[in-house]
Amino acid sequence: MSSLPDTTACVTDVVFVDSVTAAPTGYTVLPSSLYKKKCYLCYATKEIANCDSTTLILADLKILSSGDPSPGGYRRLTEISSSAFWRSRIVWGHFVPFASVSSAIGDILISDSSLDGFILAGEVNSLKILCKQVAHRAAYASSSTPKRPPPPNHSSAAPKPPAVHTYSWDFALSGVPVELNRKYFPDAELLYDIPCKTFEELEREYQYSASVERSLLGN
């Protein structure tokens, strides 16, 4: 038999009910009963484009014997009292966040033979439960990855730093070396008796007009 068309949805839940009319609203009901028309598999799906990173999706489905150890990270799906045969066969589902895997189960079928494109989860009463894996990483990346900002425009001139201005003043005594008279060195305490003068007092006391030098330069 040829493979079915690809699906754009992921399975988000699987339940078993004892009649077709007991299926939850919005769930797909498989018409083939697994046990005397008293056990029907139902599953819910969600479009890949509508899944966010935390949406729980079905990554794997297993059907094991009741004596097999419970698979880690899986949830038991067969919990209906009217199906006594589940005591020997148990269906397990592995649900994970959408962003944690690159593929998931997108379709489930019940058939008496294998189908192209489907993998076998297990058998119940000679019926095969088949699953189809769908890739979703590319679709998720294209729909949820934010666009990068445009590269900076290097053609425009860089802003100039603010201008810095410095100021200086020249005074009459600027550049004149000052040295203490050596006669004060023997007794350092005498330094405290030296009278302090302000800049204006010093400039007024030692003001030198250099009139002689200017007259010589003028001749």
In a domain, residue 167? The reply is no
User: What's the pLDDT band for 131 if we cut at 50, 70, 90?
Assistant: very high
Q: Which residue has the higher pLDDT, 143 or 33?
A: 33
In a domain, residue 43? The reply is yes
| Alpha carbons within 13 A on the beta-carbon side of 56 | 9
Give the chain's domain count.
Answer: 1
CATH number, residue 117: 2.100.10.50
Beta bridge partners of 129: 110, 122
Domain that holds residue 33: 9-144
pLDDT at res. 130: 94
In a domain, residue 45? The reply is yes
Please write the tens of the pLDDT for every residue from 104-120.
999 999 998 989 999 99
In a domain, residue 21? The reply is yes
Span 135-145, average pLDDT: 57
In a domain, residue 98? The reply is yes
Q: Name the residue among 27, 52, 51, 49 with its Cα closest to residue 40.
A: 27
